[in-house]
Structure 1
Amino acid sequence: MEHPYMTEEHHLFRKSFRKFLEKEAYPFYDEWEENRIIPRTFWEKMGEQGFLCPDLDEQYGGYSADWGYSVIINEELERVGSGLVGIGLHSDIVVPYLSSFGTKEQKQRWLPECAAGKLISAIAMTEPGTGSDLANIKTTAVLDGENYILNGQKTFITNGIHADLVIVACKTDPNAVPKHKGVSLLVVERDAKGFSRGRKLNKVGLHSQDTAELIFEDCIVPKQNLLGEEGKGFSYLMEKLQQERLIVAIDAQVSAEEMFNETMKYVKSCEAFGKPISEFQNTQFKMAEMAADIEMGRVFLDQLIARHLAEENIVTNVSMAKYKLTETARKISIECMQLHGGYGYMEEYKIARRYRDIPVASIYAGTNEIMKKIIAKNIGL
């Protein structure tokens, strides 16, 4: 389908990036899944070719591209496999906090290395006892002279093992009323005293994407690593969630498209009772239903991307897309596995991996229950 926001330059960029992935990602992805991590060398190759943080200003290592280039990168990475989601998180979720709220000194210190793939970033919001309820996080930071003393734990942190920079949501004023006004963001660097990594978490899916627990025990963070202003962390998080959730919706849509295409090839080639299973009415109806859901999802998503590129506030619509497209992709994974029969349960078939990878999309970046709450509030309930 032709994306309405794409120009000829975008199409040329996509061809170039696909060629890069055909050489540097597709042949190795199964190995990365087996090793449960993507090598840093791949990040560096992405950076060398200009495929990280393309919308950054040129002075910081980007090329001031519109966000359509980031859409292409996220789409093509998802076609390789969902385990590459950490790259999109780095370029389009974490780095924008630094470019939007960082000081000139912070930007000069960190952004060029982020664009080069030398520094890998993460954002630490979720805690063992606190998921979507960010106002009630327990991690604290107390200013002591020239440093903050950071204490707490974070979990389910994407890029947690590789991360050289971690934006940590913490309470600098635990007594603030309302509670969210006590939240601030600190940037913790890899070698910070008192910072350690817990387990690399063993997940149902997204095997090649490193997810970890992070531990801060009297962690010393220089006060110049405060991102933005004290007490404004919650508002910064809310401001950036639109793009984060849009990326999740993009990945879910692409995953659904890939599952459909794989299943189409399978039902045409597999025979039962002397004919391809694509000729059975049940198969045709199931494929027709999925095709309709995918087409409607793509049309809705593309107009949201165009509106996001135009810098419109579309929080309600993005919440709808994040909820609906992730649920649709999960449903399609079940239907596609069923149409594959016993082969769908075998690791050598791509549908098995997609079936494992897609469920978490309805959980991270705010659960789909939170999305429904946002939608309900914004439509006047």
Structure 2
Amino acid sequence: MKKIALLVLFISLLGCKKDYTPENKIKEDVTFLADDKLEGRETGTKGEQEAAAYIVKRFEEMGIPGKGTNNYYQTFTFKPKNDPHGEVAYTENSQDSTITGTNVLGYIDNQAENTIIIGAHYDHLGYGGEGSLYKGEKAIHNGADDNASGVAVMLDLAGKLKGVNTANNYLFMAFSGEEMGLLGSNYFAKNPTIDSKAVSYMINMDMVGRLKPDSTLAVYGTGTSPIFKQVLSSHNEKFKLIENESGVGPSDHTSFYLIDIPVLHFFTGQHEDYHKPGDDSEKLNYEGMETISNYIFDVITDLNDNGKLAFRKTKNESEETPRFKVGLGVVPDYLYDGEGMRIDGVSEDKPAHKAGLQKGDVVIKLGDSTVTNMMSYMRALSVFDSGDSTKVTVKRDGKPLEVNLNF
């Protein structure tokens, strides 16, 4: 009798499914995805496939099933664009001239009417290629901030949302092909594995790994639903928020905005290692990433009982962006909200470097034009051609400095 009782107890224990307890594995996830072994996770490469398998393993650890076309995976095959402004050509057949990318999808099905999509791209530049801003010898571009950071926060949110805020379903997506033109998210938007009409809103994280000491956090898409600004503000205790209403931008949220889904895109700003081999895991602010994850979780929690959010079209600021033939060779500080355009990095042997401009300088005048913000800076830059000379005035340590500059 005692043996039978022990056997029943053993079978009962086997049948008990252990609930997943959320763990902060943000640093662990970034460290794996940004390791040299993955060779920069370029779309279609072995390194990207290894990254995809790792993300699947993480979903499985959390007990989150797949929602792709083949379990967790949604593959798409395409011919690389010859014309950078042209449309990508997706194809059903793999050929020598094609590349196959792989989206990775996990799904929490709460039997709810609506679904929230939470995404981040996991591909990067491999050994550089056309997207690289590095001019040295061939080197791996690990993309720790861009965008292992976003994937790590996405996975962190997946763990936190398991079994809570059950008024919505959650689709977690790691996109492929972002660096080649938002290809993975674009493909999903045209070939969704869930009813896209039942998507309440989409959250995108792209480069959220370098929160600065002033805690500046950019949030794009705040105008795509009337409720966003109020909710973002009511839960913000730690950030200096820079808000942008437009749903169109150079990341995967754009693909969802274009099919009338409200979007929020989180971003901690560019830096000198952007699209260079120096974007490594040891340079990230992991406490900052956890704080961002907690903030996004609070926003999702607030919106849990709001049903399907109303969508609102926003002005496409990219259509108003002036086109220019020359550049200063600087990385602008996109999170700067003072007057002028603050320089966050200077490329060697470019006009700004040769003129003696430095990181931290704030451009307040270019030629005859006063620079008050990013848009006025671009307008001022658009009038120059290669070979032109002009004067540029910057503020350095609070004092104006005028230098000569040759394009």
**Structure with max Cα Rg:** 2
Of the two structures, which has the highest relative contact order with CA contacts closer than 8 Å and spacing of 6 or more? 1
TM over 0.5: no
More strand by share: 2
TM-score, L = length of structure 2: 0.25
TM-score, L = length of structure 1: 0.26
